Structure 1
Amino acid sequence: MRILMVGHYPPHRGGVANHLDSLVRELRRRHEVHVLTYGPIKPRGFERELVHQVRVPPVYGLRGTSFAFLGSREIVKLHHEFNFDLIHTHFVGTTSFTGVLAKERTGLPLVVTAHGSDLEHTAKLTLGRVYVKKSLSEADAVITVSHWLAKKVMSLGASAVRVIPNGVRELEEVDSGKREVITFIGALRNYKSPETFIELAKRFPERKFIVAGDGPLRERLERSAPPNVRFLGYRGDVESILSQSALLVLPSRREGFGLVILEANSLGVPAVGRRVSAIPELIREGKNGLTFKSFEELVEAVRTLLKPKENRKSGKIGRRVASTYSWEDVAEEVERVYLSVLE
C-alpha cells in the first residue's frame, strides 16, 4: 500500500508525533508511507523524500485552520504525484478536517485516529466542534487509542469505532544505582495538574521528586516547589529518568491514553494515576500501580507503593503488562482497518 499520514511528526514533539513516528517505522516494513506535517521543519535525512510539509503561521487558532485548507490542497498535489491508496489523519479537528477536504477532491478513503485532547479540548470550541463532527461523520474508519475515547467519538457522531491502543517503544534501562526518585513526566499545563505533584512533594520532604517537562506553568511551579523537587525541563531520554525512579505519578485531569504509564512499567516502575479518562484502562488496580480520586488517596497510594515489597511486586507485574503493548501488533491492527476501507 501507499499511505499518506497527516499530523504532527518529528522533529515536532508530543504524544501524536511520537505515536506517528513509531507507527510509520513499523508500517514501512511492508508499505510505502509518506507524511504530511506542519512546517517549517527540517525532515530527518533518512526520510527526506517521504516527509512533506505545509508552512503555516505560528499563531494559535490561525495555525490549525491554515493547515486544514493549505494541507488539503497539498494532499491533492501529492496524490497526483504518488497515487496514494488512502489518507490516515491523526488528531480530530483541523488536522482530520484536512483529510475530509482532500477526500472530497480525490475520492481517497479516509481513516481518522483520535488521541485525546482533540476530543477533550477541540470539540468544546465552536468552530472546533464543526471540524470534529464533520471529520467523524465523513471518515471511512475511526480509530481511538482507548475505550474511553471510543465512547466520546460515538457520542460525537462516529458510527463505527476501532480501539487500537498505543504501543510501547523499547526502552533501554540505564544503570543509575538505587531507585529512589518519585517522578512526574509531562507538559506543565493545567490539564496535567503538575501542582498536585508539587503538593505531594511537600508531604514527603525526605524523598527526592523530579519534574521532567516544560510548559507555561513552570515558572509558577518552581516558585511554589519545596527544596526536594528538581525541575529538569523537556527531556528526550525518558529511560534514564525512569531508571532512577521508584514511582511515577500521573495526576492528569484527563488523558486520552497515558503512554508514560506503560513506559514506566516497561522499566519496572509502578505508577499512581488519577482515576479519570483512560488511566484506569492502563493501571490495573493493585497490580501495576494504584489510582486515586482525592489528594489523601494519592498520598496513601504513594506510601503503599514506596514499601519495598509492594514496589518490587508492582514493578514486576508492570513489566508484564507493558510487554503486551507492542508496535508490531498495533501496526497489524491498523493494517486490518486499512484493508476494510479498501474493500
Structure 2
Amino acid sequence: MERLKIGVICYPSLGGSGVVATELAIKMAAKGHEIHFITSSLPFRYNEPHENIHFHEVRIDGYAVFKYPPYDIALANRIGQVVEEQHLDLLHVHYAVPHAVSAVLAKDMIQSDIGIITTLHGTDVTILGHDPALRNTVKYGIDKSDITTAVSESLRKETIELIEPAKNIRTIYNFIDEEKYHPVESGTLRCDLGIQQNEKVIIHISNFRSVKRIPDLIRAFALVVEKLPSKLLLVGEGPEMPRIRRLVDMLGVTDHVLFTGRRDDLPELLSFSDVMVLPSEKEAFGLVLLEAFACGVPAVGTNAGGIPEVIEEGINGYIVPIGDPDAIAERTLRILSDSTLHPKMKEQAMETVKGKFSSDIIVAQYEKLYYDLQKKEC
C-alpha cells in the first residue's frame, strides 16, 4: 500500500484526545506512514523517537494589538507551512474547534486541495456545541472537513441533534495500546501504598473536574467500606480536589482513601485493583474503562454518553443512573463480594478490549479512511 504523509493536529497535553491521537500516530508510523505532529509541544505520550515521526512546533508570539495570543491563527499558519514544505497527503485533526477550523483556514490560505479528517472527542460538542456563540463555528469545522468521525455512537448522535451538520459523521471507537495496558506484576506497589492483602481495591482515574461527579463515588465508597475492607485509589489531579478532600474527611473515610496524584504506572495500579468506577455525568467515550478492562478490571459506570457502549451490563460491569451513590455502592459490592462473578467479569473485560476495541481493529478503520480520502482526491 502507498505510504502516506499525514499531518496530525491535537492537544499535546494530558487528556483522552491527546492520548488517542498520539497512539494512533505511533501505530501509523509503525505501519510505514510518515507522521508530522503540528502542535505547540511534543505530545506527552510520544516518549520514544521514531524515524517516521516528525514534530513541527507552533510558536505563538505576543503582539501588542492582540489582548490574547492568537493560537488558532498561529496554528493555521504553521499548518500551511508544513503542508507545503513536507508535501503532506492529508491532515487528521482532533477537535473541531479550534483545530479543524485552523486546518480549513490553512488549506484556504495556501489554496491547497489537501484532505481533512476531523475526529470529535466530546467537549468540542458537549460543551462548545451548547454555546450559541460557538455552535456555528463547530458546524463550520465539521462541514468544511472532508470526513468527520466521532469516538462513540452517543457522541455522533448528539452532534447531529445539536449541531445539525451537513456532512455525515462516522463512529470509530477509541482504542488503547495493548503493549502497555495488560495485567502486569505490581511488585511491592500495593504494599508501598499501605493496602492490606485482605482489602479490596476500588480505583478511579480522571482529571478531577465537576463533570466526573467524584463526590458520588466518595459517598458510595463510604457505604462499601462499612461492609467490606477496602481502599479507594483516586488517581489524578484537578480543580475539584479540595472539595473531594473535605468530603472524604467529613464522611470519616480518610484512612481508606489514597490520593496518588498523576501516575505513570497505571498498568501496575490497575493490575491489583478490583473494580473501576466512573460516575461521570458526561463522558464521550471513557478511555479509562478500556485501560481498566485491558488489565482485567471490571467497571461500574453511569448511563452517560458513550459509557454504555463500553460497559456491557452484567458482563464486564454494571451501568447505574447518574447521581446515585447507593446504586454505585450496591453494584460495586455485588462484584467484590461474589467470588464467582468477579473472575468472570475480569475475563470478559479483557475479551471486550480484544474483540471490539483492539488497536488492530481501530487503526485499520482509520487507515481505510485515509486511503478512501486519497482516492476521493484523485
Q: CA deviation at 1:65?
A: 7.9
Residues 317 and 172 (structure 1), Cα distance of their counterparts in 2 relative to 1, 3 Å cut: closer
Select the residue among 212, 235, 239 that pairs with 1:192: 212
Identity of aligned residues (%): 27
Q: Deviations over 1:237-262 (max 9, x none)?
A: 11111112110000011111111112
Structure with the greater alpha carbon radius of gyration: 2
* Partner of residue 184, structure 2: 174
* Partner of residue 237, structure 1: 265
Moved more, 123-132 or 311-320: 123-132
Calculate the TM-score normalised by the size of structure 2: 0.84
Q: Distance in 1 between matches of 2:205 and 2:362?
A: 24
Q: CA deviation at 1:303?
A: 1.5
Moved more, 134-143 or 332-341: 332-341
SS in 2 for 1:8: coil
Select the residue among 8, 27, 52 that pairs with 2:11: 8
Contact 2:276 2:298 survives alignment (8 Å): yes
Q: CA deviation at 1:284?
A: 0.6
Calculate the TM-score normalised by the size of structure 1: 0.92
- The code of the aligned residue for 2:144 comes to E
Contact 1:6 1:36 survives alignment (8 Å): yes
Note the 1:109-258 alignment, pairs <5 A. Answer: 109-155=115-161, 156=163, 157-170=165-178, 171-176=181-186, 180-205=200-225, 206-225=229-248, 226-227=253-254, 228-258=256-286
Contact 1:212 1:234 survives alignment (8 Å): yes
Q: Distance in 1 between matches of 2:32 and 2:258?
A: 44
Q: CA deviation at 1:290?
A: 0.2
Q: Distance in 2 between matches of 1:158 and 1:19?
A: 26
* Partner of residue 193, structure 2: none
Contact 1:213 1:232 survives alignment (8 Å): yes
- The code of the aligned residue for 2:26 comes to R
Residues 296 and 14 (structure 1), Cα distance of their counterparts in 2 relative to 1, 3 Å cut: same
Residues 274 and 5 (structure 1), Cα distance of their counterparts in 2 relative to 1, 3 Å cut: same
* Partner of residue 303, structure 1: 333
SS in 2 for 1:93: helix
- The code of the aligned residue for 1:36 comes to I
SS in 2 for 1:215: coil
Moved more, 262-271 or 41-50: 41-50
SS in 1 for 2:88: coil
SS in 2 for 1:256: coil
Report whether the alignment pairs 1:23 with 2:43.
no
Q: CA deviation at 1:267?
A: 1.5
Residues 260 and 251 (structure 1), Cα distance of their counterparts in 2 relative to 1, 3 Å cut: same
Q: CA deviation at 1:107?
A: 2.5
Q: Distance in 2 between matches of 1:180 and 1:332?
A: 38
SS in 1 for 2:40: strand
* Partner of residue 37, structure 2: 35
Q: Deviations over 1:49-76 (max 9, x none)?
A: 7111213489xxx999822211111111
Contact 1:142 1:158 survives alignment (8 Å): no
Which stretches in structure 1 are left out of the alignment for 5+ residues? Answer: none
Q: Distance in 1 between matches of 2:48 and 2:206?
A: 28
Select the residue among 67, 70, 80 that pairs with 1:66: 70
SS in 1 for 2:204: strand
Computed over aligned residues only, the root mean square deviation of the Cα atoms, in angstroms, reads 2.4
SS in 1 for 2:58: strand
Q: Distance in 2 between matches of 1:327 and 1:151?
A: 24
Q: Deviations over 1:144-190 (max 9, x none)?
A: 11101111222311521221111121224233475821111111101
SS in 2 for 1:204: helix
Contact 2:183 2:296 survives alignment (8 Å): no
Residues 199 and 161 (structure 1), Cα distance of their counterparts in 2 relative to 1, 3 Å cut: same
* Partner of residue 84, structure 1: 88
SS in 1 for 2:96: coil
Q: Distance in 1 between matches of 2:123 and 2:221?
A: 27
Residues 14 and 180 (structure 1), Cα distance of their counterparts in 2 relative to 1, 3 Å cut: same
Contact 2:76 2:103 survives alignment (8 Å): yes
Q: Distance in 1 between matches of 2:172 and 2:270?
A: 25
Residues 174 and 39 (structure 1), Cα distance of their counterparts in 2 relative to 1, 3 Å cut: closer
Report whether the alignment pairs 1:316 with 2:347.
yes
